[in-house]
Structure 1
Amino acid sequence: MDIKQIEALSSVISSSVAQLKQLQSSLKTTEHTAATTKAEFLKPSLEVVAAASQLIALVRTPERYLMDMSTAHQLSASLRVVVETHVVEILRDKGKGLKKALSAEEIGAYNHVNHLKLARVLRLLATHHVFDEVTPNVFANNAISNALDTGKSLAELEASPDEKYDGSNGIAALVGIFSDETFHNAVCTADILKDPQTTNSFSPYDAPFALAWPGTRNIAMYDWLNLPENNYRKKRFGMGMHGMNSMTPSDAILRGFDWSSLPPGSIVVDCGGGVGSVSLPIVQTCPQIHLIVQDTAPVVAEGPTFWQANQPQALAQGRVTFQGHNFFEPQPAENKNISVFLLRMIMHNWPDAECIKILKNVRNSCTRDTRIVIVDNIMLFASRSQEIAGQETGTSDPDALAPEPLLANWGVANSLSYKQDLNMLSNHNACERTVPEFASLLSQANFRIVEVHQAHQSWLPQVVAVPI
């Protein structure tokens, strides 16, 4: 047991907690979410989580630590139970007393789940600080479980189960996806990696997803979600993506590339941009920019309604327009003199071959002054060194790494990025990428990196590249 490192990590926790306390005193609210949405809280919060997790790994026996990791699937399984049986909403809607608590038997009477089994599921989650067990077999929501609340009554959920996630913050939908489709897919990862026929394949048709469900051997996951029988999953997926967006501040897209530096008349194309919700702050803060939102025709057809509700002036002035387009096809001929192509959360959905095709289609419409801005997770190596010998990566972000004695990639505090990387592997045979991997990918489409905004303060990491 490395006592010196344990003491160093304890010191990090103490100093970071002191910083959080000082920051908290400036707020009028003690609500947890009020702090986590403020950029200045992010680094000390990450330091506490990273140091505490690293401390646990040092103090626990290796065997016990491994057993905890290997049984973590039970947490995902339990979260799926409570999301799909409306436990959070039942407690909020029907709970009694100051804490609005109910016994497992009372909850089971509402959602028709055996109360003896349900109590065990809820106790595991309460042991991990999701729900409170206020007295034996009696449970209540807490700040963490409340994040799963869709805001609907039990009567509404029973009357329209397929609409459970509509109008919610999307977090419950996201948990539903991760604990259902992605969970099933991940179980087959070892089978795909062990099989000599698939281990070296990066085709979407050889993703672990291909083995996880009946009839999926020759279909990609996105196409599977579009099948009529998967309409519920498709709706949940859409709301889950909204949940992912809700986890970042609305102006996160501005914390990287300097959009205000673009000259008047600049055109920005948001590739695969949905209705343009993520690009909204760019138009709001940079009136000199004209935005083209690209996505499939059915998706962009919903765009004017969104902009009419959120920025009608830009819509009326023609500063935002919509273009039905498949990014695997060449860019429309009318897209000339584009200042920036924005690709947000696009690259991580596709293996390298597909990404290169997307990038080459963009490259063919670039001028010498065009920039591309890729918004995706940028993976850090766990080692202190972030360079690969002999590989040119372009500019890096010096503030991205965690300070000693923490792991350079922020350890467990940043583990969601690495879990998401393996989600992409199990779902699509795709990946999140390191800076060297982005540099290699971009060079194959005749781009080079000129800026990297990787520090956690930017919320949405960005790679900025130029044509070569």
Structure 2
Amino acid sequence: YHLPSCLHFLETTHTVEILHEAGEGGLHVSEIAKRNGTDIGKYAHILCLLSTHHILHEVKPDMFTNNRISALMDCGKEVRELVKCPGKKYKGTNGIAAFIGLNTDELFKASTYLTEAYVLNDATKFSTQPTETPFNFAFGMKKGFFGWLEEVREVDGEQEGEEPCEEGVWLKGSQGEIGKDVRRGRGNKFRLERFGKAMSGSCAWDPPGGLLNGSCPSPSPPPTKLTHHLEQQA
């Protein structure tokens, strides 16, 4: 049950990109933590769990490198660029990192409140309103999901605009307190852009007509004695 949370941690901390720059030899968890400002002890436990599920490769104790699975999440940008301006992480990418971020952030959090919304709460258990869903329980919102994504807040009398690309803004929210949404304190511009890239990217993964024709060609039937005989006759 910790796996989606650890995947969210992996994607948010740009660990895959850090390991990409380190090369095939891998990097010690202490060096990775220096680059993204995380706690070494907690970080090591998270990376060990991911490697147990074959999402990373632990070369030797506390030394990690990417494998074919984790490398799919690589957005292809330099770490210093991501740390300086994380809001542009998904721009010009194939959408895989954005898709992982979307699913392990707001969608995963909303999913955990399925029982509370549809079983334990008499006011919402039979509701079909888009403002009475597990998502609303998870984020304490009365808005629908898409209205919430498009939410723009005012900061110092000015509307949220282009995210500043300055050192030190990475992973900072408005308060940084327990119970607050520390991911983005200035509205959901980041999440909205990530959602768009995740959707457009994942649509491109499916071949045209794949839903109607099947994504993969039908496998050939196994050979029989008759087909073998006919092939010899031909």
TM over 0.5: yes
Deviation of the 1:247 alpha carbon: 2.5
Alpha-carbon distance change, 246 to 199 in structure 1, aligned in 2, over 3 angstroms = same
Does residue 1:153 correspond to 2:111, yes or no?
A: no
Give the aligned partner of residue 201 of structure 1.
127
Give the aligned partner of residue 76 of structure 1.
4
Query: Percent identity between the aligned chains?
Result: 34
Q: Deviations over 1:439-468 (max 9, x none)?
A: xxxxxxxxxxxxxx375538xxxxxxxxxx
Of 209, 212, 216, 1:457 maps to 216
SS where residue 129 of structure 1 aligns? coil
2: CA distance, partners of 1:164 / 1:255: 29
Does residue 1:136 correspond to 2:61, yes or no?
A: yes
Structure that is richer in strand per residue: 1
Of 71, 74, 89, 2:17 maps to 89
SS where residue 205 of structure 1 aligns? coil
Give the aligned partner of residue 226 of structure 1.
150
Where does structure 2 lack aligned partners over 5 or more consecutive residues? 153-186, 218-234
Does residue 1:237 correspond to 2:195, yes or no?
A: yes
2: CA distance, partners of 1:101 / 1:75: 22
2: CA distance, partners of 1:75 / 1:243: 23
2: CA distance, partners of 1:188 / 1:255: 33
1: CA distance, partners of 2:67 / 2:31: 18
- 2:27 counterpart letter in structure 1: L
Residues 421-432 of structure 1 aligned to structure 2 (within 5 Å): none
2: CA distance, partners of 1:134 / 1:186: 34
- 1:227 counterpart letter in structure 2: E
Q: Deviations over 1:422-455 (max 9, x none)?
A: xxxxxxxxxxxxxxxxxxxxxxxxxxxxxxx375
Q: Calculate the TM-score normalised by the size of structure 1.
A: 0.38
Deviation of the 1:243 alpha carbon: 2.8
SS where residue 90 of structure 2 aligns? coil
Deviation of the 1:116 alpha carbon: 1.3
Give the aligned partner of residue 139 of structure 2.
213
1: CA distance, partners of 2:9 / 2:48: 13
2: CA distance, partners of 1:196 / 1:457: 45
Give the aligned partner of residue 171 of structure 1.
96
Alpha-carbon distance change, 255 to 101 in structure 1, aligned in 2, over 3 angstroms = closer
Deviation of the 1:183 alpha carbon: 1.3
Residues 402-441 of structure 1 aligned to structure 2 (within 5 Å): none
Contact 1:130 1:142 in 2 (8 A): yes
Contact 1:170 1:239 in 2 (8 A): yes
Number of residue pairs aligned between Structure 1 and Structure 2: 182
SS where residue 167 of structure 1 aligns? coil
Contact 1:92 1:100 in 2 (8 A): no
Q: Stretches of 4+ moved more than 6 A in 1? A: none
Q: Deviations over 1:335-388 (max 9, x none)?
A: xxxxxxxxxxxxxxxxxxxxxxxxxxxxxxxxxxxxxxxxxxxxxxxxxxxxxx
SS where residue 196 of structure 1 aligns? coil
2: CA distance, partners of 1:189 / 1:457: 33
Of 204, 208, 215, 1:253 maps to 208
1: CA distance, partners of 2:57 / 2:27: 11
Where does structure 1 lack aligned partners over 5 or more consecutive residues? 1-71, 257-452, 459-468
Q: Calculate the TM-score normalised by the size of structure 2.
A: 0.74
2: CA distance, partners of 1:129 / 1:182: 23
Residues 6-17 of structure 1 aligned to structure 2 (within 5 Å): none
- 1:106 counterpart letter in structure 2: E
Q: CA RMSD in A?
A: 1.6
Alpha-carbon distance change, 202 to 84 in structure 1, aligned in 2, over 3 angstroms = same
Contact 1:91 1:100 in 2 (8 A): no
SS where residue 253 of structure 1 aligns? coil
Does residue 1:105 correspond to 2:30, yes or no?
A: yes
Deviation of the 1:85 alpha carbon: 0.6
- 1:213 counterpart letter in structure 2: F
Contact 1:192 1:208 in 2 (8 A): yes
Alpha-carbon distance change, 179 to 122 in structure 1, aligned in 2, over 3 angstroms = same
Which structure would you say has the larger RCO, counting Cα contacts within 8 Å and 6 or more residues apart? 2
- 1:179 counterpart letter in structure 2: T
2: CA distance, partners of 1:161 / 1:198: 37
Give the aligned partner of residue 230 of structure 2.
none
2: CA distance, partners of 1:243 / 1:119: 31
Does residue 1:121 correspond to 2:46, yes or no?
A: yes
